Amino acid sequence: MSGSIEQFLQELERGLDRTLVSVNKELTLRERIKRSWSMRQCARFLNISHQHLTKFAKDSDDFPAGRHVGRERVFTLGELMHIRALMAASAKRPDHFLAWRKADDPLPVISFASQKGGTAKSLSAAHFAQYLSLHYGMRVGVMDADPQSTITLYFVGGHEMPALPADDTPTMVDFAGLFQTDESVPYTEYDAKALDGFFKKTSWPGIRLVPAHGETSEGEIQIARLLRNETPGKRFYRFLRDSIERWKDGNVPTTRPYELVRDGKVDKEKLDAALHETLDCIIIDYQPALTLFQLNNVMASTSLIIPQTMKGFDIATLSTFVTGLLTMLRHIFATDRIDMGGAAHMLLPTIVQRTNEQDLTQVGNLLENCPDEVLPVFYLRSDSIANASDVYQSVYEYEPDTPGKKKGINRFIENADAVNDAIVERLWPGRERGYAKAWVEDFYSFEEEDA
C-alpha cells in the first residue's frame, strides 16, 4: 500500500499505542566464499522452468560452461548474469530477466531503519539487495549510514574493496557533501560523475557500495557546524536528498538488454559497462539511532522499512522511535511541505520465535491494529544464520560445510525469499514470485493446526 512516510508513521504510531496496552499486561574479516548455483537453482532465480533453461542452454552457442560438481553443473554469480543477458536479448519481455530502470522511471530509495541494535536491520538490508540481484538482475546501490559498518562487512572483499575501507575512503558524509573541500564554501556539491565514483564495486555483479567506517559519525558534527553557522542556501535535512538527485540526473540508464548480445554472444565489455552505468534502486542501512544525519536519510527515501524484534521492551523502543521521527517530520513539514516518501512503507518483524507465545501475540496485535503498515511475512529466529553471520555472509552466498547446516541454511533461504518477495510485492506490484503467499499459507495453517 502506497502513501506518505508521515501517514505511514502516523498509522503505525496509533497501532503501536494500542499494541503497547497488551505489552504492559503481561570479526574477523575472512575471504568471501564465492558460492555457485545449479541449473535448477538458476532456473528458479530466472523464474522459468528447469526444462526451458536446459533447452536454452543446448540451443545457445554462448551459454556459460559452468563447472561440474558431482552430477550437477553449477554456475557463478557472473555466469548467472551472463545467462540473464542472453535470455533478455531475445525475450518478448526483457525486464523479466533484467529488471532495469528506464530513463524516465523513478529511482526507488529504500531505507532500512531502526533505533535499536540487534534487530537484524543490516542483515535484512543485505539480503534484500542480494535478492534483487539474484532474482531480477537489478543494479543496486547500497549505502551504509552506520559507523559500525555492518552492511559494509557483508560486501567487502572483492573488486575495489579487497579489505576494510580505510579512514580516507569516502562515505555517505562525503556523498552528501557535508565536508568542506574549499574554505570559501561551507559544504561541497559534487557533480554526478564524482558522486558515482563514491560507489565501490563489490563481488556481486551490479551491486555497488558506499561504505562506512568511523568517519561516518562525523555527519552529526558537520550538520551541527552548518546549523551553528546558519549556513544559507540549503536546509540541514536536504543534503543527501539533493546529492542523490544530482547523481540520478547525471547517471541515467541508456543501455537496453537487446544491445548486450551480438551474433548470439554476450558482449562482455558492454554488459560490464551497463551493470555500472546507473542503479535501479538504492538501499540505505541506517545507524540504530534517531539523529539529524539519519533524518537526511529519511528525507531522501521513497520507502521506509523498519525491521523490529517483537519483545515488549523492543516494541516500546520502536514506539519511541516512530513518535520521535514523526515529530521531526511534522516540524519540517510545518515550513517545508516537500514531496517525499510516496511509495510503500512497512514494519518488518524479525527474529520471531515460532514457539514464543509473546512474539506471536505481538505480531498478531500489530497485524490487527495497523495491518497495512506491518508485513504478514517475517523473519523467524534461526540458529543457522549465525554460522553465516560469523563471517559476514548472507545465506545467499554462504556455503555450509556439513549436511546438517545445509538443511538449516536452506530453510532460512526459504524464509528470506518469502520476506523479500513480500517487500517486492509492495514496492513493485506484479513482480512478486509467490514465495510470500506460499509462506503465509504454510505458516498460518501450521499455527491453526498447532492451536
Report residue 100's pLDDT band, with 50, 70 and 90 as the boundaries: very high
Give the per-residue pLDDT at 1: 56
Q: CA–CA separation, 153 vs 163, rounded Å? A: 9
Give the per-residue pLDDT at 23: 45
DSSP 33: P
The dihedral region occupied by 188, where left means phi > 0, alpha psi between -120 and 50, and beta the remainder, is beta
Give the per-residue pLDDT at 26: 39
Q: Where are the domains of the chain?
A: 5-30+100-450, 36-98
pLDDT digits (tens, 9 = 90+) for 299-314: 999 999 999 999 877 8
At residue 21, does pLDDT exceed 60? no
DSSP 166: P
Contact yes or no for 293/144 (Cβ under 8 A): no
* Average pLDDT value for the chain: 89
At residue 244, does pLDDT exceed 80? yes
Give the per-residue pLDDT at 222: 93
Give the per-residue pLDDT at 390: 73
Q: CA–CA separation, 47 vs 88, rounded Å? A: 13
User: What Cα–Cα distance (Å) separates residue 153 from each residue in 29, 147, 379?
Assistant: 8, 12, 21
Q: How many CB atoms lie within 10 A of CB 338?
A: 12
pTM exceeds cut of 0.85: yes
- Please report the sign of the dihedral spanned by the C-alpha atoms of residue 436, residue 280, residue 6, residue 143: positive
Report residue 24's pLDDT band, with 50, 70 and 90 as the boundaries: very low
At residue 429, does pLDDT exceed 70? yes
Residue 214: what residue type?
Answer: G
Among residues 236, 243, 233, the alpha carbon closest in space to that of 199 is found at: 243
Contact yes or no for 263/297 (Cβ under 8 A): no
Contact yes or no for 149/159 (Cβ under 8 A): no
- Record: fold of 5-30+100-450: Rossmann fold (3.40.50)
Give the per-residue pLDDT at 28: 39
Of residues 264 and 184, the one with the higher pLDDT is 264
User: What Cα–Cα distance (Å) separates residue 294 from each residue in 53, 225, 325, 401?
Assistant: 44, 16, 10, 39
At residue 449, does pLDDT exceed 60? no
Q: Say whether 83 sits in a helix, a strand or coil.
A: helix
